[in-house]
Amino acid sequence: MTEGSITKKLVLFALPLFTGQLLQQLYNVVDSVVVGNVLGKEALAAVSTTGSLIFLMVGFITGLFMGGGVIIGKRYGAKDFEGVKIAAHTGLTFALIMGIVLTVVGVFLTPYILRWMGTPEDVMPNSIIYFRIYFLGGLGNVMYNACCGVFQAVGDSKHPLYYLIVSTVINTVLDIAFVRFLGFGIGGAAAATIIAQFVSAGLAFYKLTQVDGPHRIFVEELRIDRETLKSELRIGFPTGIQNSVIAIGNVVVQSNINAFGSVAMAGCGSYFKLEGFVFLPITCMSMALTTFVSQNLGAGQYDRVRKGARIGSIISVSCAEIIGVLVFTLAPVLLRMFSSEAEVLAVGARQARTESLFYCLLALNHCLAGILRGAGKTKVPMVVMLSSWCLLRITYITIIVRFIPVVNVIFWAYPLTWSVSAIAFLIYYFKADWIHNFAKYEPVEVK
């Protein structure tokens, strides 16, 4: 990432990420497709309502690992290979601990959070079954993401793709077998997912024990270096908090959707699955920018950081808007893969056509946040996104739905808050002195 064509480096790094994320999205969507078409709209609503809960539980931990990736990337760019080794071992040891914690907490809290969300009684039993089985695989989910973070921090976005291909095939085959042919119901869909997660985590971890590089993992050396962990948490903790609080906001949004019944839940759930594909080029370029910025800051190439930030943002925003136009035009056709029921399709299409033309703002937000994270400035994205994507979004929905009790009010919350956060990011990015003098304002790592 520290030499050669910036556009080429960003695109070549992002493409395997994109393919991998596409597979992961298909991996997640398979549950909804199989469940919705085999078990009906109530089961589809149960799977859909768990999405925000899963992000609530997983988002905090994956946010923490963002700090590890930044530290590894900066040390790798600075050719501090012993530091890379220490950071990788610390990050994976911490992931192992947090994966176990996630499993226990997720299984225990499931019914309480679902009731707090106001999940309808006809959906509750299936939601509890799906969510609890899903979180039995929490360790696999966390370890896979942590291992991928190590690969990506050193510029390797291909190996995570290989493991996703394997796990996606496993998940698809088992989903169809468990739900359609063996009649295991919604629990079978969740079981297929966690089996595939553990396979991908195992493959990624094994490869890290075999690679020839400073990020190679030695099982007997897995331990936490306290000072390195402090540095990783200093950068990652704000992102983890941001993810969790935004997820809480999404849970509140989901609870408002739940109030409109199972048709609205299924329709919105179908749209959110579709929207997941829109996120792919956005999140992949954001991840590429984080790695690009961290490695080039480590190498002291500050002009290259600024050029890369501009190029990556233009690519991401352009792709997002093209996709938005396609979603706006083809929404009813695309949503039909999740459900054939007219009422469900109508709700999903209304949400798609309300939000899709504003995807460019979503891309801009993620790119600027990725640049700031790569620079170690994770508090700024945390403050901006929590203020707009959580507090403002919840306030808007809570107040307006009381006066205008229609589900479309909820749909408009997203373009509104994307606009506000984009303006805040742009003001900070162009007005703050640090962007013009990285060397002076770059955060100092804990030693």
Three-class SS state of 378 = coil
C-alpha span between 146 and 54 (Å, rounded): 17
Average pLDDT, the chain: 80
Burial-class residue 400 by CB neighbours within 10 Å (0-12, 13-18, 19+). Answer: middle
DSSP 383-412: HHHIIIIIIIHHHHHHHHHHHS-STHHHHT
Q: What is the DSSP secondary structure assignment for residue 177, as one 8-state letter?
A: I
Give residue-wise pLDDT tens across range 208-248: 999 888 888 998 888 888 888 888 888 777 777 777 767 66
Closest CA to 417 of 392, 397, 400, 395: 392
> Which pLDDT value is given to residue 205?
93
> What pLDDT, on the 0 to 100 scale, is given for residue 154?
82
Structure tokens given for 142: 């966390």
Smallest Cα–Cα separation from 63: which of 430, 443, 398, 386? 386
DSSP summary character for residue 248: H
Q: Evaluate if residue 423 carries a pLDDT over 90.
A: yes
Residue 447 pLDDT > 70, yes or no? no
Hey, what are 361's tokens? Answer: 């703002």
pLDDT tens for residues 145-203?
A: 888 888 888 878 788 878 888 888 888 888 888 877 787 777 788 888 889 889 989 99
Q: What is the mean pLDDT of residues 53-65?
A: 68
241 versus 436: the higher-pLDDT residue is 241
Q: Mean per-residue pLDDT for 264-285?
A: 78
DSSP string, 337-362: TT---HHHHHHHHHHHHHHGGGHHHH
Residue 432 — pLDDT band, cuts 50, 70, 90? low
Give the per-residue pLDDT at 129: 81
Residue whose structure tokens are 């306030």: 395
Four-residue CA torsion sign, 87, 93, 97, 103: positive
* Contact present, 203 and 163 (Cβ < 8 Å): yes
pLDDT of residue 45: 64
pLDDT at residue 364, rounded to an integer: 93
Residue 264 has pLDDT above 50, yes or no: yes
Distance, C-alpha 194 to centroid of its chain: 17
Query: Distance (Å, rounded) from C-alpha 222 to C-alpha 227?
Result: 15
Cβ neighbours, 10 Å, residue 82: 9
